Structure 1
Amino acid sequence: MARLTRAESQARTREQLVSTAKRQFLRAGYAATSLEKVAEEAGYSKGAVYSNFRNKNELCLAVLDDIHEQQTTMLTEAITGAADLESMLTAFQAWSERSIGDEAWTALEVEFATNARHDAEVRHQLALRSKAIRDTIAGILTAHAGHLGLTLPMSAEDTATALLSLGIGLGVQRAVDPGVSAVVLTDVIRLFAGR
C-alpha cells in the first residue's frame, strides 16, 4: 500500500475531524461540543484540529457545508430523471418528509446562527452560504421550469428565497412538532407552478 502524501494525509485528517465534529454537533449541539472532545474522539491532538480550523466556528461551518452538500445531492438525485412535474413533486415530497425538520440538523443550524449574531465574519460566511443555496435552488427552478414549460410567478431568485425561507420555517416547526407535514412546501410549489 502506497504512503499518503502530506496533502492526502492532511485532507484525510480534515475529513475525519469534520465527520467526528458532525456527529458531536448533531448529538450534543454547538455549545456543548468542544474542540478537545472532537480531537479526542477522532484520535487526534487538539493541535491537529487547529492546524485544519482556526476555531470552532470554522469547524462548524465545515460541518454545515458537509450537511448542505449531502442534502443537495440527495435532493438532486431524487428529482433527476422525473418525467413530469407530478413525479418530480412526489420525489421532492419524499425528500422533504425525510429531511426538513430533522431535529438535530435544525437545532444545530438555529443554535449556530443565533450564536453567530455578534460575529460579523461568521454572519458573513453564513450569508455567503445562504446565497449559494438560494442560487442552487434558483438554478434548479430555472432548469426544470424550462424543461416542463412552466412560467414562474416571480424571478427564480425571489422564488428560491421564498421557498428556502418557507423550508427553514417549516423545518423549525417540524423539529418542534414532527406531526407537521412537509406537504405544505410541495403545495406551495404547486401554486407557484399554477397547478
Structure 2
Amino acid sequence: MSDATVRRTQADRRAKTRSSLLAAAARGLSTYGYANLVLEQVARDAGYTRGAVYHLFANKEELALAVVEWIGETWDTDVRRPSLDEAVPLASLITMARRHAFYCRHHDGARVMLTLRVEFTGQDHPVGRALDEAYHRLEAECAALVRAGRDDGSIPPGPPALLMAKSFLAVLESVGIEVAGEAPHDIELTERAVRGILGVAARA
C-alpha cells in the first residue's frame, strides 16, 4: 500500500470518527444541554473510547463549537441556500419554512441550537457568541427579504422588518421542532405559521 493510500485511508477514518462524534454530541446536547454533556458518554454513544474525543477535540467547548458549525453547514446546504435561489422574496421565506420543516424530520439540529441558545442566554461564552453571530446574520438576511417583499408588494406593510424577521425565525424554529416528523402535516403547519407572521394569505 502506497504512502498516499495510507494517508487517504487515515483521513477517511478520521473524518468518519469525527462525523460520528459530532452526531453523538448533537444528540447529547439536545437532551442534556452543554453543562450536563459528558464526553465519555458522547464517545460511548458514537462507538468510540474517550481517547477518540480528545484526539480530535481539545475539550467540551471545542466539541460544542464544532457541533454548532456542523449544524450550521448542514442547515445552510439543506435550507438556506436553496431558499435564497428563489426569485421572489416571499417565495424565499416560504421555501425556507418548508425546507426547515423537512430538515427537522431528519436532523436534531434545530433542537440543539434552541437548547444551547436558551442555556447561554445572558452569558458571555464562546458557544453562546457563535450562536448569536449565526442568528444575527440570519435575522439580517430575513429582514432584507421582508423589506424586498414589501417593495414588490408580496408582503404587506407592518412591524419593522427586523422584528418581523425575528418573529419569523422564532415561529419557524419552535413549530419546526414541535411538529418534527409528523409528515406531511409538519411542512403544511410550519408554512401556515410563518404565513401568519408575514401577513400573507394561505395557499388555496
Contact 1:101 1:170 in 2 (8 A): no
Taking the TM superposition and a 5 Å limit, the aligned residue runs for 1:73-88 are 73-84=77-88, 88=92
- Checking the alignment, whether the CA contact within 8 Å between 2:139 and 2:165 is kept in structure 1 is yes
Q: Which runs of 5+ in 2 are unaligned?
A: none
* 2:171 counterpart of 1:163: no
Which residue of structure 2 aligns with residue 188 of structure 1?
Answer: 196
CA 76–118 in structure 1, closer or farther in 2 if over 3 Å, else same: closer
Tell me the alpha carbon deviations over residues 105-131 of structure 1, each in whole angstroms, 9 at most, x when there is no partner. Answer: 344234434444585313333222221
The partner residue of 1:57 within 55, 61, 77 is: 61
Task: Work out the percentage of aligned pairs sharing the same amino acid.
Answer: 19
- How far apart, in 2, do the equivalents of 1:116 and 1:86 lie? 32
Q: Counterpart amino acid of 2:173?
A: I
CA shift, 1:137, in A, is 3.0
User: Which structure 1 residue ranges, 5 or more long, are not aligned?
Assistant: none
Residue 101 of structure 2 is matched in structure 1 by 97
Confirm or deny: 8 A CA contact 1:101 1:173 kept in the other structure. no
Give the drift of 1:141.
Answer: 4.8
Q: Cα distance 1:58–1:171, how it changes in 2: closer, same or farther (>3 A)?
A: farther
**Contact in 2 for aligned 1:21/1:60 (Cα 8 Å):** no
Q: Do the aligned residues in 2 keep the contact of 1:82 with 1:88 (CA within 8 Å)?
A: yes
Q: SS in structure 2 opposite 1:120?
A: coil
Count of residues paired in the alignment: 188
- Superposed CA RMSD in Å reads 4.5
- Which of 146, 149, 171 is equivalent to 1:145? 149
Establish whether residue 109 from structure 1 lines up as the match of residue 109 from structure 2: no
TM-score, normalized by length of structure 2? 0.61
Q: Distance in 1 between matches of 2:64 and 2:191?
A: 30
Deviation of residue 158 (structure 1)?
3.0
